[in-house]
Chains A and B, each alone.
Chain A
Amino acid sequence: MRLTRHPILEFDRGREIEFEFEFDGRRLLGFEGESIAAALHANDIRVFRESVRRKRPRGFFCAIGRCSSCLMTVDGIPNIMTCVTPLREGMRVETQRGKGTIPLADLSSAGSPPPEPRRDSDDGATIPLAIVGMGPAGLSAAAYAGRMGVETVVIDENLVPGGQLIKQTHMFFGSREHYAQIRGVDIGDRLIANLESLPVKLMLGTTVLGLYPDRTLSLLAGTRHMQLKADAVILATGASENMLAFENCDLPGVYGAGAVQTLMNVHGVVPGKRVLMVGAGNIGLIVAYQLLQAGVDVAAVIDAAPEIGGYHVHAAKIRRAGVPILISHTILRVTGPDRVESAEICRVDDHWQPVPGSERKLPVDAVCLAVGLTPNCELAFQMGCRQTYMSELGGPVAVHGPDLETSIPGVFIAGDASGVEEASTAMIEGRLAGLAAAEWLGAESDTDELARLRDEAADSLKTLRAGPFGAKAREGKEKMLSSMNEDKAGTQ
């Protein structure tokens, strides 16, 4: 179902167009440029493909091109990520069964034979600083590196900048410096505005496929493949939502919280009529409230922990709306033939084990998982940055110091990619990384100014992490620092 009225958002939809669902199948209506997945959802289609081995129905889960659950055959080409592929007029979208087949008979597009391969070929552009990711960390990094006069390219696979900010309808907390009292959706615009008149170029719709040891980035824009060689790199690639294992957890209708936000706040399509929220951290609480804003019923918010993890002000808001928050509860299973029709929950004891007899079945048509995030560090690991596992930071992360530099000089990591926190700290980390990269590149600007900005950002980060909610990240970062120092001592 599409939202027509929303208390905060206005949906700037494209032209209404027709597309085809299934071969010689139904003609459906959608909006040009919205994701194929959103258009299908608006038409109440939830099953996108069949799993290869067990032929289980699969829908979409992450909505940011990470999880591969939404692969479909589009215009005859299999394995298309429909959650990030824009809808075009006349597209033929088919449920994918099996591994997919390509239109093999077509030999027409062979083109000319490739040239003799040579190692010394140098057909890529060069840039002093490449930033991967146009979310809060990446855009802040670009603004501060740009301010120091560093020529910078910022690359993002999405068609709009802002990263996850574009789906945040809530106002941020903190001080003016941290964009308090401003909604996330508007912060992205301000970050972009900050870049005006700076030597910063934005490349949207461009996926970084690989980051090689010689600092070459392999880029894909549509079907065009490019190379870009950078002197310094800042990885601001964010995080991916965690999955939770329970019976039928792959059934269409089980979504990541971010996916629900994307569907609802970016595309104006609701995920269902009645939703169970799993996870009472800030994301779970905020998204539950956003669901209510969009007119969706929230059956309950559950969390296996014995207390609410998020801010109590968020919890209070949804409680006032009559949504129960059930702590020490977990989800056992969802049921339904090819989409979620109900969810079974139960209490857990002090050892996180289900309490027999406490099972309860909730009639819901969607389950939203807000059970944490894992940093996206693949590019850093590809390049050979040293990694460590730090549960406080969300899992495997690239080892980095207070200036966000990884084990490879001139390669920095910032925001959720360096350890999962939230947008405010991501922006400050971005600043620090931008300044550190500028310094590393020997930017010819005012070094006093650079030092002043860096101290300011470091103080700001300390303030943001000072409270009990910043404790985990604080501990994680400190642990990493001490392990780094031990390594250094060990090699001396």
Chain B
Amino acid sequence: MTRDAMKTNADCVIIGGGVVGAAVAYYLAKGGMTNCVLLESEYLSSGATGRCGGGIRQQWSTEPNAQLAMDSVRIFKTLEEELDADIEFLQGGYLVLAYTDEDVEQFHKNFKLQRRLGLDVEILQPAEIATRVVRQLNTDGVRMATYCPSDASANPFLTTKAYAEAASRLGVEIRLFTPVTRILRDGNRIVGVETERGVINTPRVVNAAGSHSVLLAQTVDVQIPITPYRREILVTEPLERFLDPMIISFSFGIYFRQVKHGSVIGGFAYPDEEPGFNEESSVDFLTMMSRKLSFLMPALKHVKVVRQWAGLYDVTPDAQPIIGETDGIDGLFQASGFSGHGFMIAPRVSSLLAQLILGQKPDLDIGRLNVRRFSEGAIDLDHSVV
């Protein structure tokens, strides 16, 4: 955001201007490390953050994930005040639909776990969906649902911008359209970052570049197990408000919500999508998503799609993010591999990572999210991934 010469020395360089990079920059500066530079190869939210659906869900099947998400909602609730910006945060709830035996079994397990953690989730029978949550839904085939009214959504662009501007106010330098060509190491420590606009000397780097994190890590001979998958999404013309909750189903394969502006935004994942850096839109997706939407909410067949696009999920083997310092290289911190749910847990994960970087003991142990888990074997797969 500044036009004068880029800093050549920093305490920390954050690579990636998505929500995670911007939030890490903010929490570092808030914790006292203000001599930081945030580098973004294009513009803020130009990667996965700006292409996502903006949902904030706490209904997860593993305790650590549910805990991170619940903590994030707590942060989100006061974030507009803290960052002094409108981020369109709305607690409209999440309605999760079960269609299969496996769904029903898993949902009961999830419900128990989530209630134990204190989440306001409840189980609904199909008939209750219309009376309790949303009247306009076609519940053909729905076996049951879980509904959590405190689940939420926000605008990913505004959230990232709010974090970045707050960081900037605290002294962080934000450099857009500044691609990083490589990370620089000297033996077992980080010494800097090379960009297309020069070198920044720094002892610490946060690699928060989504799917591109893999390529950046390779420049210092570090392998991180992230595979990019295209995920497509579309948005309709705006309508007057009619839908508060995000509606999702893992087995039916869909998520959609109405954003503040009035548009319906949503997508689903092709089970047979090939991995790769493909961000092209497809007509298959437009066709199938329209069919899915108009099956679940028949009145939506009268609504026009105005735009579709694609983004990349940075998927790890256990669908959980890679957070923390890299063994063997002092000062290299990973913050990627969010596997499609980075936005919703970004506030909490970013503040925990900032604590780690600042040399503090994190409020919540995130050692389990270190990349070393993949070389240690046993991983804990979360079943609640759309």
Checking B242, B262, B274, B284 against A104 with a beta-carbon cut-off of 8 angstroms, the contacting residue is: B242
Given contacts A99-B262, A102-B302, A212-B281, contact A114 B295 (CB under 8 A): yes
Hey, what's the 0/1 contact readout for A106-129 against B, CB within 8 Å counting as 1? 111111111011111100100000
> Could you tell me if A225 and B299 are in contact, using CB atoms closer than 8 angstroms?
no
- List B residues 123-178 near A (Cβ within 8 Å): 135-136, 138, 140-141
- Determine the chain A residues whose CB is within 8 A of the CB of B305 once the complex forms: 209
Checking B141, B272, B290, B300 against A113 with a beta-carbon cut-off of 8 angstroms, the contacting residue is: B141
> Could you tell me if A114 and B291 are in contact, using CB atoms closer than 8 angstroms?
yes
- List B residues 287-318 near A (Cβ within 8 Å): 287-288, 290-292, 294-305, 308
Checking A79, A106, A210 against B304 with a beta-carbon cut-off of 8 angstroms, the contacting residue is: A79
Nearest CB on B from A223, distance (A): 8
> Could you tell me if A101 and B298 are in contact, using CB atoms closer than 8 angstroms?
no
A227 to B285 alpha-carbon distance, docked (Å): 12
- Determine the chain B residues whose CB is within 8 A of the CB of A104 once the complex forms: 135-136, 242, 297, 299
> Could you tell me if B298 and A98 are in contact, using CB atoms closer than 8 angstroms?
no
> Could you tell me if B299 and A119 are in contact, using CB atoms closer than 8 angstroms?
no
How many residues of B are in contact with the other chain, CB < 8 A?
A: 43
- Determine the chain A residues whose CB is within 8 A of the CB of B141 once the complex forms: 113
> Could you tell me if A105 and B284 are in contact, using CB atoms closer than 8 angstroms?
no
A423 to B284 alpha-carbon distance, docked (Å): 36
A372 to B138 alpha-carbon distance, docked (Å): 49
Q: Is B286 an interface residue (CB 8 A)?
A: yes
> Could you tell me if B295 and A107 are in contact, using CB atoms closer than 8 angstroms?
no
Hey, what's the 0/1 contact readout for B208-241 against A, CB within 8 Å counting as 1? 0000000000000000000000000000011110
> Could you tell me if A105 and B135 are in contact, using CB atoms closer than 8 angstroms?
yes
Q: Is B271 an interface residue (CB 8 A)?
A: yes
Most buried by A among B273, B295, B302: B302
Q: Is A77 an interface residue (CB 8 A)?
A: yes
In the complex, which residue of chain B has the Cβ closest to the Cβ of A220? B304
> Could you tell me if B295 and A111 are in contact, using CB atoms closer than 8 angstroms?
yes
Given contacts A79-B237, A117-B268, A119-B272, contact A102 B300 (CB under 8 A): yes
Hey, what's the 0/1 contact readout for B166-200 against A, CB within 8 Å counting as 1? 00000000000000000000000000000000000
Q: Is B282 an interface residue (CB 8 A)?
A: yes
A98 to B297 alpha-carbon distance, docked (Å): 22
> Could you tell me if A99 and B138 are in contact, using CB atoms closer than 8 angstroms?
no
Q: Is A184 an interface residue (CB 8 A)?
A: no
- List A residues 70-116 near B (Cβ within 8 Å): 77-79, 98-114, 116
Q: Is B122 an interface residue (CB 8 A)?
A: no
> Could you tell me if B283 and A107 are in contact, using CB atoms closer than 8 angstroms?
no
Given contacts A100-B240, A119-B272, contact A216 B295 (CB under 8 A): no
> Could you tell me if A210 and B283 are in contact, using CB atoms closer than 8 angstroms?
yes
- Determine the chain A residues whose CB is within 8 A of the CB of B292 once the complex forms: 114
- Determine the chain B residues whose CB is within 8 A of the CB of A335 once the complex forms: none
Listed in ascending order, the chain A residues whose CB lies under 8 Å from chain B are 52, 77-79, 98-114, 116-121, 124, 209-210, 212-214, 216, 218, 223, 225, 227
Q: List 18 A-B contacts (CB under 8 A).
A: A99-B237, A99-B240, A99-B262, A101-B239, A101-B242, A104-B135, A105-B135, A106-B298, A111-B295, A114-B295, A117-B284, A119-B274, A212-B282, A213-B280, A218-B286, A218-B287, A227-B283, A227-B287
